[in-house]
Amino acid sequence: MLKTLTKSISLILLLTQLTQLAACGGGSNSSATADLSPAPDTDTGDTPEAVQSLAWQEATPESVGMNSALLAQTFDQAFVDGSYTQAALVIKDDKLIYERYRGILPTEATNLAATTDLDSQAVYGTRDKDSLATSWSTAKSFTSVLIAIAIEQGLIESLTEPASTYIEEWQGDDRAAITIRNLLDMRSGLPLVCYDTAAQSLGVCDNAGSAGGDLVFANNQMSACINRPLAETNVNQPWHNTGIIWQDGYWLYSNCDTMVLGEILYRATGQDLQTYADLHLFSKIGMRAQWWRDNDGTSQVDGNYLAYCCLDATPRDFARFGQLLLNNGVWDGEQVIPSAYVDSIKNITLDSVVTEISGGIFSYGLKFWSIIPQNQDDGVIYPPPNTLISTTGFDGQYITVDFDNNLVMVRNGLYSPILNASDGRKMTISTGDFAASSLIGSLPNGVALAGGSSYVHQKFLYGVNQSIISSD
């Protein structure tokens, strides 16, 4: 399949879309039947027991006070031809209430054929509950809770602790004051990092065309993130929005901030991101998932784990993360995530509304998005303030938690896994050698399809909510 992809997608097309991809994590993936067993703990010699995905208890919508007909209508809208939806599901009262899966649809296949010569049915044709999806930037939220777990274990002091305690490279200059909370909130004051194809190296971005920064071409995606200087204040930075004079503490969506948090976890715990997550998160909730790595053989454990993106799991397993948050961090009686941390996530304040992107639809903190009220098509203002928190990833990857209604809602975009266990899920994207590249595997933006997706997440969430209201 990789050879087919490399022949099908032009270099110009790839370069164009990787800039967009970088905003929410970049790369490629693994087979739907790939082995997702946790990797061995190379630091201790221990091998975590392979995590088995636990079966959800299933129930009818009516048994939990939902209207199945209205729920079906909501899913119909989410799965229309041109939405590029692979999976969506609803968990209510800790039960799987409704789910749907599909492969590529006619218009989507036609659009893809106009752009590439891919055999779309072979690549995207069939998807079910056992098919992998990828997180893209939803992985940032997983990194966040791992930081909280490490704090609870005493391996990291607190959110207010200087990041330079672990990133010694920042000691002795102005970066020493950057806290772990600053990195979690994307308010580090550090600039975006992009790949210079001419120099074949990472450096500070010279334009605002790459929200989040563009790391994916580099074998070592960590070094430039650590080596960034503080951004100069009182000037219009080229990587920030035009007309906005940069000030210290401004919010800036940055892949590097999360990448550095992954390094802090590695240095604080002595374990790579995958191993630590297997032991202290995934195994606790019955989730099987695998993180991607870059190709720097000298960093971490044979490559830096991409804390800012790229976690492969099934949609049902992604839902387990949402249920854990809904349970206030508790699973089977064990406090996996500190309850105070979950409370902080739930209470991301609306005065931190990010107007730079998405028209101010979200507020942001601790690597989570709070969905703020807005007018729906019928004039209803939804949702109520501070009731829905969500992860968000490239090409429409969402885990959304509705605390008021005891709901978890997952949506994943259509995905064709490429990276697999045999290559250690190491991401390589070469600007000149497609044969050496792990190419993008999601639609529509991952392969530069014109028009994007018709899916609107707020409409899906509101439709699910309406199915509850109508049954009362």
Looking at residue 166, its pLDDT comes to 98
Average pLDDT estimate for 329-357: 84
Looking at residue 421, its pLDDT comes to 59
Average pLDDT estimate for 314-320: 98
Looking at residue 360, its pLDDT comes to 53
Is pLDDT of 33 > 70?
no
- Exposed / middle / buried, residue 154 (Cβ in 10 Å: 0-12, 13-18, 19+): exposed
Is pLDDT of 57 > 90?
yes
Here the tokens at position 171 are 């000691």
Q: What CATH number corresponds to the domain at position 170?
A: 3.40.710.10
Looking at residue 150, its pLDDT comes to 98
| Structural domain of 257 | 2-469
The pLDDT confidence band at residue 235, using thresholds 50, 70 and 90, is very high
Is pLDDT of 261 > 90?
yes
Q: Please tell me which of 8-17, 27-36, 49-58, 100-109 the model is most confident about, judged by mean pLDDT.
A: 100-109
HEC assignment per residue over the chain: CHHHHHHHCCHHHHHHHHHHHHHHCCCCCCCCCCCCCCCCCCCCCCCCCCCCCCCCCECCCHHHCCCHHHHHHHHHHHCCCCCCEEEEEEEECCEEEEEEECCCCHHHHHHHHHHCCCCHHHHHCCCCCCCCEECHHHHHHHHHHHHHHHHHCCCCCCCCCEHHHCCHHHCCCHHHHCEHHHHHCCCCCCCCEEEECCCCEEEECCCCCCCECCCCCCCCCCHHHHCCCCCCCCECCCCCCCCCCECCCCCCCEHHHHHHHHHHHHHHHCCCHHHHHHHHHHHHHCCCCEECECCCCCCECCECECCCCCEEECHHHHHHHHHHHHCCCEECCEECCCHHHHHHHHCCCHHHECCCCHHHCEEEECCEEEECCEECCCCCEECCCCCEEEEEECCCEEEEEECCCCEEEEEEECECCCCCHHHCCECCCCCCCHHHCCCCCECCHHHCCCCCCCCCHHHHHHHHHHHHHCCC
Range scoring the smallest mean pLDDT among 99-103, 249-253, 437-441 = 437-441
Here the tokens at position 311 are 């976690």
Is pLDDT of 418 > 90?
no
Looking at residue 20, its pLDDT comes to 47
Looking at residue 86, its pLDDT comes to 98
Is pLDDT of 351 > 80?
no
Of the two residues 421 and 53, the one the predictor is more confident about is 421
Distance CA 194, CA 217 (A): 9
Largest Cα separation within the chain, whole Å, is 62
Separation in Å, CA 240 to CA 192, 231, 280, 340, 369: 9, 11, 37, 33, 20
Q: How confident is the prediction for the chain on average, in pLDDT?
A: 85
Looking at residue 361, its pLDDT comes to 57
Range scoring the smallest mean pLDDT among 92-101, 152-161, 217-226 = 217-226
Looking at residue 220, its pLDDT comes to 92
pTM for this one?
0.90
The pLDDT confidence band at residue 5, using thresholds 50, 70 and 90, is very low
Looking at residue 328, its pLDDT comes to 97
Looking at residue 436, its pLDDT comes to 65
The pLDDT confidence band at residue 1, using thresholds 50, 70 and 90, is very low
The pLDDT confidence band at residue 6, using thresholds 50, 70 and 90, is very low
Range scoring the smallest mean pLDDT among 111-115, 158-162, 393-397, 434-438 = 434-438
Is pLDDT of 99 > 80?
yes
Comparing CA positions, the residue from 218, 407, 405 lying closest to residue 319 is 407
The pLDDT confidence band at residue 372, using thresholds 50, 70 and 90, is confident
Average pLDDT estimate for 73-95: 98
Is pLDDT of 344 > 90?
yes
Average pLDDT estimate for 192-196: 92
Looking at residue 441, its pLDDT comes to 81
Is pLDDT of 17 > 80?
no
Looking at residue 200, its pLDDT comes to 85
Q: How many domains is the chain built from?
A: 1
Here the tokens at position 210 are 């790459």
Tens of pLDDT, residue by residue over 452-463, are: 999 999 999 999
The pLDDT confidence band at residue 116, using thresholds 50, 70 and 90, is confident
